[in-house]
Amino acid sequence: MKSFDAIVIGGGQAGPFLAARMVEKGMKVALIERKFLGGTCVNAGCMPTKTLVASARAAHVARNGATYGVNIPGEIGIDMKVVRARAETVTMNARNGLIGWFAGMDDMTVIYGHARFEDPKTVSVNGETLTAPRIFLNVGARPVIPDLPGINDIDYLTSTSIIHLDTLPRHLAVIGGSYIGLEFAQMYRRFGAEVSVIEHGPKLASREDEDISDAIADVLRSEGIDIHTGVSDIAFARSSDGITVATDSARIDASHVLIATGRKPNTDDLGLDATGVITDKHGYITVDDSLATNVEGIWALGDCNGHGAFTHTSYNDFEIVAANLLDGGDRKVSSRILAYALYIDPPLGRVGMTEKQARASGRKIMISTRPMSRVGRANERGETKGFMKVIADAETKKILGAAILGIEGDEVIHGIIDAMNAGTTYPALQWSVPIHPTVSELIPTLLGDLKPV
């Protein structure tokens, strides 16, 4: 049996950085990863997909060049092999950077293999047994495959496998109208494929307010994406030239099917029964405000704990645990203000409460909206789709949430994120002097138009 000061299971966005901090503190650490360092973000999520989004945007801009007085003769061609290779290069650079970083740490042992608990202080991997007083789980999540008629008879794609395509689908059917599915839908439409989105719920991006969801649908439809919502029945069958997707309202002749119906935590094969660690009905590990499980000496970070499924929330999990265990801090998950983005083009930047949540809270609230068509930067760039929206507490004057669907919305939202984290009231922000011409310069104006509802 090999002994360590700490064992980290999973090489995503929380575990490796925590392991490195512990090594800096003089600890002997084992990092166990069953596949690739970097987790979903580096290998199958943010980095490759946003690289693909950039290629798709380049194609879109080229096709619309004449609008800006830039004439490109002939049809815009897409070399999917180059597109794929570019995304793979970005991934490999990041992954190899982590490998090289850890190779330089004398007290870091990186083990590739599938770890399982033998008891709360012991894990086995590759036939070896390791023990440590502290064990950190950062095992991430994977795509959910729903039990739909005919699904096992077809070769479907997931968000992991689709990034390896080096040919262009004739017609991509996307099952699921949430964040992952919508990004791939627009991306492949811009590459030149026919695209259909099939969503069980009544609207796309169901977490968002109805006006945001409607605007997202308008953006996608304007690019020729076929959208089906409120679909109750879906079945698949092989056809002579692809896959038939039959719903209660349509029949789609697809060449490829992407299943984008959510993700589930990778906790079902860790041997958690040997530890007594509690999970919820979906398999997420239950943690307290410091990310500790119910079993002393075991923590859960990242996607597997159900407190955010984003790279930035996973990294913040690392920051919370490191601050509390290594720096004498008292940081809490409940202090985190959730923010995220949807990377269609234009992107959606979101922070805090939706309007629906704010109304349900019983507060007296104020709301302001402004169309992107009234934003100078958007007009100058010829990208006026979407709108800005902010919700505030009428009594405390604190900002409760915001949504910016529009050009650079994923960057502009950070002005609101920073204000909310600092506890700044909205009247104070109205007196800031932003740079012109930017999208952010409209934040004071947006706040100035807040009205009670």
Is 98 known to sit in a ligand binding site? no
Beta 348-352 vs 339-342: how paired, if at all? antiparallel
Distance CA(212)–CA(208), nearest Å, equals 6
Is 408 known to sit in a ligand binding site? no
Burial state string for 108-131 with b = 16 or more CB within 10 A and e = fewer than 16: bbbbeeebebeebbbbbbeeeebb
Is 178 known to sit in a ligand binding site? yes
Beta-carbon count within 10 A of 430 CB? 14
Residues assigned a catalytic role: 436
Beta 226-228 vs 194-198: how paired, if at all? parallel
Is 177 known to sit in a ligand binding site? yes
Distance CA(232)–CA(216), nearest Å, equals 21
Beta 387-393 vs 399-405: how paired, if at all? antiparallel
Distance CA(13)–CA(316), nearest Å, equals 9
Distance CA(296)–CA(289), nearest Å, equals 14
Distance CA(71)–CA(406), nearest Å, equals 26
Half-sphere exposure of 452 (CA within 13 A, CB side): 4
Is 199 known to sit in a ligand binding site? yes
**Dihedral, 101, 106, 111, 117 alpha carbons, nearest 10:** -120
Distance CA(179)–CA(327), nearest Å, equals 36
Short-list 446, 445, 439, CA closest to 377: 439
Is 182 known to sit in a ligand binding site? yes
Is 183 known to sit in a ligand binding site? yes
Indicate the helix (H) or strand (E) that contains 296: none
Instruction: Kindly give the residue spans of alpha helices, DSSP state H, lying in 327-400.
Output: 355-360, 376-381
Is 33 known to sit in a ligand binding site? no
Distance CA(190)–CA(341), nearest Å, equals 20
Half-sphere exposure of 243 (CA within 13 A, CB side): 27
Place of tokens 């859960």: 300
Indicate the helix (H) or strand (E) that contains 433: none
> Which residues are part of a known binding site for FAD?
50, 303
> Which residues are part of a known binding site for NAD(+)?
176-183, 199, 262
> Which residues are part of a known binding site?
50, 176-183, 199, 262, 303
